Amino acid sequence: MPSSFDALQTLRLPDEWQRQAIQFLKEGKDVIVQAPTGAGKTYVFEQFFQQSNLSRQAIYTVPTRALANDKYAEWKKLGWKVGVTTGDLVVDPEAPVVVATLEAQQAQKNAAIFVVDEYQMLGDSSRGHHYEGVILGLPLTTQLLLLSGSVANPQAVQKWLQRQGRTVEIVKTEVRPVPLEEMEIDRLSRSIPDFITGFWIRRLAAAIQDHLSPVLAFAPHRRDAMKLARQAASIPCDQPLELTKEQIELAGPDLLPLLRNRVAYHHSGLTYAQRAGLIEPLAKAGQLRVVVATLGLSAGINFSLRSVLVTSTQYAVRGIPVELSPAELLQMFGRAGRRGLDEVGYVLVSRESARLCNGRPGNLVRSRSLPWSPILRKIHRSPAGTEQSMEIFEKYHRGLFSEEPIRLGCESTQKLERPLPCGLLTDTARARLVRRKTKRFKGCKGCPHRHECYRLSPQPTMAWMWVRLGLLDKDLLLTRRGIAMSQFLSTEGLGVVAALEDERYGMEDLVNDLGNLAAGERFCGYEPRWTGRLAMACQQAYRDNSWDGFLQDGMPVNYGYGARDIIHTLRQGKSVTPQMLPENANRGDVDRLWLEWKSLLRQIAMGEDLEWDRWRELQKIARKELDLHDEETNLNFPPLTALQQRPMEHRLG
């Protein structure tokens, strides 16, 4: 069976909206494409690239490493000279086309075209500021192509980019190559034999019986997905799936019995090889009756099935319940219907599930977090001076993705003749000083700006917080801490810098402890999450300060104790056994931790040569570790057998 990519390649002529987008790109304009899932958004880039003689690189960014590796493999198969960069993995980074995770391209300066697939990530609570910062940092000589199927207000993004001096066109289509229909399954489930029990299992059995499978079901959490998949595997199957020896070995004991009954679960706890080398190829080939994925991994799903079932509209992030947005539901529903195979895609609904009308494009708004990296780098690379720093803050104050300018902390003070009696340079510091009830500053009493200071908000701003964290000094000049932090995209840099400042912190311990900076709650077990040597260094450096997306009570927000021993084991070339892991962690989590650790090492290794001995020492170690462990991700997975590639209709056995 051809993949969705192969199906796109067989199109003789682009659709009208695709031709329009390609023509705008040829005219040198930036383009925002709004089209349903599966409509052929990627085809716009493919045709533009093949029809153009670009003198500089084309960068194609996607939200996840798995999607980047998939796209790399697809284009490689076509004979393209293509590279991939995903933070942990770098293959042929100078190739004419590079597919990458967006964060791995944070310092891109010389691309001919920069593609942001799934640009609705601008509104993501944890990564939106990365997307905003990278886009803001691109030169106007780099064309932008933004792709999405779930944004209701692309005009807002157009206006934002136009404020940067760009010429931007929007291309829209609402036509789905495979139309969607809603199918009630409560009634269908009544005809299922009584020995099949369980609310969702009876409905999945009904879908198989009525030729609505394969079904992609979404469950709230890993345990829910695994439980539902195991129950689905109990549905009688008279056509068990035959697997090769290599596939059996890759599946492992937990997944194997499910696959034999043509069922699988799909979540981040699986290894990349299990997902990309086994489950996804079998699903794309139509060999699985049911695949159960987690809601949180829905953005990483890169295949469609005949029907989709969403069993819940709520999942948890760090223990906090999160309701699925209409745009997220739309993305999930968009996975129903396989182009070239299904005339209709079905959204299965019951009294307990979301309905087709609940999925719709959502208005894109920026996340609360602000992009630190591009502003720190701009200050670092500009002539040092208070006025220069203030001008940079003013530029970004008006340039962020927001209809109203966002206060960064110097807007009022910049307009005044200085020095002020207090000597302060941020609006927040002035607002707080004039409101002091104890230890009042005597200079406030006769200051001509006193009433203005009262009108200023005392709420924290970026410039004020950077002074408080020691990234800037009182004159708004970068400190050594700030210069080092400018080498990093996100919060992990704060942990690295805090550890380097502790002269007694041994480098060997630090290299292992770097794993904690991206571990979250997954590996701490019953231990307190914010403990360990690195946690102490962070709390000493940043006290109890908090900032959205970066710090919580002085700790980098992704920090979690317990990962250092796993990193140490992997560095020795040994395997991490199940006994070494807490109850809620598994092999996929270990793989992801290893990738995040290598990604952080790469940021350090590729950083500037700073005038700091400990930084240089860490850079040497990072480069050595990458040389030892930076093997190419294995994309040579077990091939499907001829039998596994034959189209089949599933039935209730």
**What pLDDT is recorded for position 636?**
76
**What tens digit of pLDDT does each residue of 522-562 get?**
899 888 999 999 999 999 999 999 999 999 999 999 999 99
Contact 368, 557 (CB under 8 A): no
Weakest mean pLDDT among 12-16, 48-52, 175-179, 487-491 = 12-16
Alpha helices in 296-408 (DSSP H): 326-333, 373-381, 386-399
Between CA 647 and CA 137 the distance in angstroms is 47
Q: pLDDT band at 483, cuts 50/70/90?
A: very high
**What tens digit of pLDDT does each residue of 397-410 get?**
888 999 888 999 99
Nearest by Cα to 201 from 263, 257, 253: 263
Helix (H) or strand (E) holding 533: helix 533-542
Helix (H) or strand (E) holding 115: strand 113-117
**Upstream peptide bond of 448 is cis (omega within 30 degrees of 0):** no
Residue ranges per structural domain of the chain: 4-172, 180-361, 385-477, 493-653
**What tens digit of pLDDT does each residue of 358-374 get?**
999 999 998 888 999 88
Weakest mean pLDDT among 307-316, 410-419, 460-469 = 307-316
Contact 40, 11 (CB under 8 A): yes
Number of H helices, E strands in the chain: 24, 18
Helix axis angle, 492-501 to 533-542, nearest 10°: 90
Token duo for residue 331: 């993305």
Token duo for residue 546: 């908090």
**What tens digit of pLDDT does each residue of 104-115 get?**
876 666 899 999
Contact 471, 491 (CB under 8 A): no
Between CA 5 and CA 43 the distance in angstroms is 9
Classify the phi-psi angles of 286: left when phi > 0, otherwise alpha if psi is within -120 to 50, otherwise beta.
Answer: left
Q: pLDDT band at 126, cuts 50/70/90?
A: confident
Between CA 500 and CA 533 the distance in angstroms is 12
Count how many residues are written for the chain: 653
633, pLDDT greater than 60: no
88, pLDDT greater than 80: no
Helix (H) or strand (E) holding 61: strand 58-62
Residue type, 577: T
Contact 487, 616 (CB under 8 A): no
Residue 597, φ and ψ in degrees, nearest 5: -65, -45
**What pLDDT is recorded for position 343?**
93
Q: pLDDT band at 297, cuts 50/70/90?
A: low
Q: What is the model's pTM?
A: 0.88
Between CA 554 and CA 535 the distance in angstroms is 9
Helix (H) or strand (E) holding 180: strand 180-184
Token duo for residue 388: 């220069």
Our measurement of the distance from residue 538's CA atom to the centroid of its chain's CA atoms, rounded to an integer in Å, reads: 25
Tally of CB atoms within 10 A around 475:
12
Span 385-393, mean pLDDT? 93
**What pLDDT is recorded for position 401?**
94
**What tens digit of pLDDT does each residue of 429-446 get?**
999 999 999 989 999 988
**What tens digit of pLDDT does each residue of 637-652 get?**
899 999 999 988 888 8
Alpha helices in 150-290 (DSSP H): 154-163, 199-209, 222-232, 245-260, 272-274, 280-284
CATH architecture of 180-361: 3-Layer(aba) Sandwich (3.40)
Higher pLDDT, 374 or 466: 466
CA dist 38 to 42, 168, 196, 277, Å? 9, 24, 34, 22
**Mean pLDDT of the residues in the chain:** 90
Token duo for residue 633: 């991700």
Rg (CA), the chain: 26
Strand partners for 292: 217, 265
Between CA 112 and CA 108 the distance in angstroms is 11
Classify the phi-psi angles of 13: left when phi > 0, otherwise alpha if psi is within -120 to 50, otherwise beta.
Answer: beta
At residue 134's C-alpha, the angle toward residues 487 and 34, to 5°, is 160
**What pLDDT is recorded for position 247?**
95
**What pLDDT is recorded for position 2?**
39
Q: pLDDT band at 316, cuts 50/70/90?
A: confident
CA dist 155 to 121, 142, 271, 364, 446, Å? 16, 20, 39, 10, 49
Sign of the torsion formed by the C-alpha atoms of 325, 331, 335 and 336: positive
**What tens digit of pLDDT does each residue of 225-237 get?**
999 999 999 999 9
Contact 82, 50 (CB under 8 A): no
**What pLDDT is recorded for position 490?**
87
**What pLDDT is recorded for position 634?**
59
Between CA 26 and CA 49 the distance in angstroms is 10
Nearest by Cα to 490 from 146, 87, 180, 78: 87
**What pLDDT is recorded for position 296?**
65
215, pLDDT greater than 60: yes
Contact 180, 337 (CB under 8 A): yes
Contact 420, 447 (CB under 8 A): yes
Span 603-613, mean pLDDT? 94
Helix (H) or strand (E) holding 91: strand 90-91
Does the fold of domain 180-361 match that of domain 4-172? Answer: yes
Strands 97-101 and 58-62: parallel
Strands 290-294 and 263-266: parallel
Topology (CATH) of 4-172: Rossmann fold (3.40.50)
Residue type, 25: L
Between CA 274 and CA 649 the distance in angstroms is 24
Torsion, Cα 264 267 272 276, to 10 degrees, reads 50
Three-class DSSP category at 528: coil
Token duo for residue 648: 């089949």
Most confident among 63-72, 145-154, 572-581 (mean pLDDT): 145-154
CA dist 391 to 386, 394, 397, Å? 9, 5, 10
606, pLDDT greater than 70: yes
Alpha helices in 267-417 (DSSP H): 272-274, 280-284, 326-333, 373-381, 386-399
Between CA 607 and CA 539 the distance in angstroms is 24
Between CA 112 and CA 28 the distance in angstroms is 10
**What pLDDT is recorded for position 298?**
63
Strand partners for 265: 292
Strands 30-34 and 58-62: unpaired
**What pLDDT is recorded for position 188?**
86
